[in-house]
Amino acid sequence: MIQLYNSLSRTKEEFVPNEPGKMKMYTCGPTVYHFAHIGNLRSYIMEDVLEKYFRYVGYDVTRVMNITDVGHLTGDNDEGEDKMVKGAVRENKTVMEIAKFYTDAFFADCKKLNIKTPDVVKPATECIDDFIRVIEGLLEKGYAYIAGGNVYFDTSKLKEYYVFNNFNEDDLEVGVREGVEADLNKKNKNDFVLWFTKSKFEDQALKWNSPWGVGYPGWHIECSCISMRYLGEQLDIHCGGIDNAFPHHTNEIAQSEAYLGHKWCNYWFHVHHLNTTGGKMSKSKGEFLTVSLLESKGYDPMVYRFFCLQSHYRKNLVFSYENLDNATVAYRKLIQKIAALKDGGDVDAKALAALKARFTDALDNDLNTSLAVTAVYDVLKAKCSDATKLAALADFDCVLSINLLEAAAKLREETPTAATETAAAAPKDAFDLEIEELIAKRAAAKKEKNYAEADRIRAYLAERGVTLKDTSQGTTYERA
């Protein structure tokens, strides 16, 4: 039984599909005006694990993703510049050239991170008729109005608009932020554009005919329509980064349910942010952290995936090169240990089932990937045959997708003896040296009766998976 935290109810709930054995899943795709940063990719990695886990436990999954190639402005409340036009101007290309280039770049990054391509991937510009049909329906039902040439969704027509319910309305008021002009056509501050005909951008590149004049769609309508086109009127899980909960997902729910006249999506899965030590991740300020940048610095994209899996998707995660270095060392050691396992022999079905139970217990509990990674280490420590261990690792990697067996095979090929030797007595790495230094500092603190400092060091190491053992011979340690 899979339990998932649902942003709608703000509780962990047992997953019950609309149709037995089937899971219909929708993912907000990238806005293809630039490369994805590794924060964006954290969301796609965790959603990939979610999809693969449902498949692993036997669900027939259909996953749909849009490509935002029109309508997304730099501010989510219909303010600011058009992201795609901004990208085209930056690179002196057409919007469609930009869209193609960054769509390809996005999937190239996904491939490096073992993120499976969804069953359906649909660019918004290919679904204009769907948007027009749904907007017409919303106008007919009285949920939309035309003002200043644009079509708006009327949020005052809903019983409940703030479905995720944890936002302070005042903070969201358009116009309160410096430099943001309130759109005076809006009857209510959270009304949003379904269709722009009166473009604020004289040079708007992409325009289509519509019953309301030549124009282009707002951002939110695309996800509702693309989901309905491929997944029908009822959706099981909708995913995205937490920043999309408001206004994007809130608006998706408003327009979809107003149009359909019934509940649309049962579970909302939001991935929390990857931040830098300096705060929010950005494509324009500070270092633009992409997969290619990490590769150019010598990092394996698989290590970034492993790093993401080590923490829970509902916690913010801080990216730093130091953290990635630690993940690199941990991943390398893990692969070395796997490379030392011997092929052949019998699989012990009972032992395998016990190992698998730990893995599924972890992921059944709100997709706890951090515990699922612990279950990988449990395999290596287990008292069973190597064949059983290899079978368990191959099985887990269908979900984790961190190349456990492939990387181990490669290591064995490259260094046939080193792999086994290093596993037996792994050489010290930078983290071992840091641990030893901290152990020495802790001993000095204890000597000075500064127990608070000694405890702080122990807790700090514990947080990083290091267990200290004080013995008569001094302090020893064990790394996770």
Which chain residues interact with ligand AMP by CB under 6 A? 28, 30-31, 39-40, 42-43, 68, 240-241, 243-244, 271, 273-274, 281
Q: Which is closer to ligand AMP, CB of 124 or CB of 392?
A: 124
**Residue 46: CB minimum distance to ligand AMP, A:** 9
Closer Cβ to Zn ion, 83 or 458, answer by number: 83
Q: How far is CA 163 from the centre of its chain?
A: 22
- Between 291 and 375, CB nearer to ligand AMP: 291
Q: Quote the least distance from Cβ 99 to ligand AMP, whole Å.
A: 12
In this structure, the strands spanning 60-67 and 120-123 are parallel
Shortest distance (Å) from residue 313 CB to ligand AMP = 9
Phi, psi of 274 (to 5 degrees): -90, 125
Nearer to ligand AMP, 125 or 360 (CB): 125
Least distance (Å) from ligand AMP to the CB of residue 144? 24
Q: How many residues bind Zn ion (CB under 5 A)?
A: 2
Report yes or no: 378 and 352 within 8 Å, Cβ to Cβ.
Answer: no
Least CB distance to ligand AMP at residue 366 (A): 17
Site for Zn ion in 55-114 (CB under 5 A): none
The span from the CA of 348 to the CA of 344, in Å, is 12
Choosing among Zn ion, ligand AMP, none, which partner's interface includes residue 45 (Cβ < 5 to 8 Å by kind)?
none
Does 28 interact with Zn ion (rule: CB under 5 A)? yes
Q: Which amino acid is at 472?
A: S
**Number of helices and strands in the chain (H, E):** 17, 15
Nearer to ligand AMP, 104 or 437 (CB): 104
8 Å CB contact between 249 and 165: no
132/137 Cα distance (integer angstroms) = 9
Residue 223 binds Zn ion (CB under 5 A): yes
Q: Cα–Cα distance between 46 and 48 in angstroms, integer?
A: 5
Considering just the CA atoms, what is the radius of gyration of the chain in Å?
25
Residue 245 binds which entry of Zn ion, ligand AMP, none, CB below 5-8 Å type-dependent:
none
Cβ 250 to Zn ion shortest distance, Å: 11
Rank residues 212 and 219 by Cβ distance to Zn ion and give the closer one: 219
Nearer to ligand AMP, 106 or 396 (CB): 106
Q: Quick check: 289 binds Zn ion (CB under 5 A)?
A: no
Lookup result for tokens 């030797």: 421
The residue of the chain with the least Cβ separation from ligand AMP equals: 241
**Rounded Cα gap, residues 165 and 141, in angstroms:** 25
Answer whether 162's CB lies under 8 Å from 250's CB: yes
Q: Which two tokens stand for residue 411?
A: 């290591």
Q: Which is nearer to Zn ion, 267 or 396 (CB)?
A: 267
**In 404-448, which residue ranges form alpha helices assigned H by DSSP?**
404-414, 418-424, 430-447
> Is the backbone of residue 376 left (phi > 0), alpha (psi -120 to 50) or beta?
alpha
> Reduced to 3 DSSP states, what percent helix, strand and coil does the chain have, rounded to the nearest 5?
45, 15, 35
**Which of the choices ligand AMP, Zn ion, none does residue 218 contact, using the CB cut-off of 5 to 8 A by kind?**
none
CB of 272 to ligand AMP, least distance (A): 7
Regarding 253 and contact with Zn ion (CB under 5 A), the answer is no
Binding partner of 223, given ligand AMP, Zn ion, none, CB within 5-8 angstroms per partner class: Zn ion
Count CB neighbours of 285 within 10 A.
Answer: 10
* Positions in the binding site for Zn ion (CB under 5 A): 28, 223
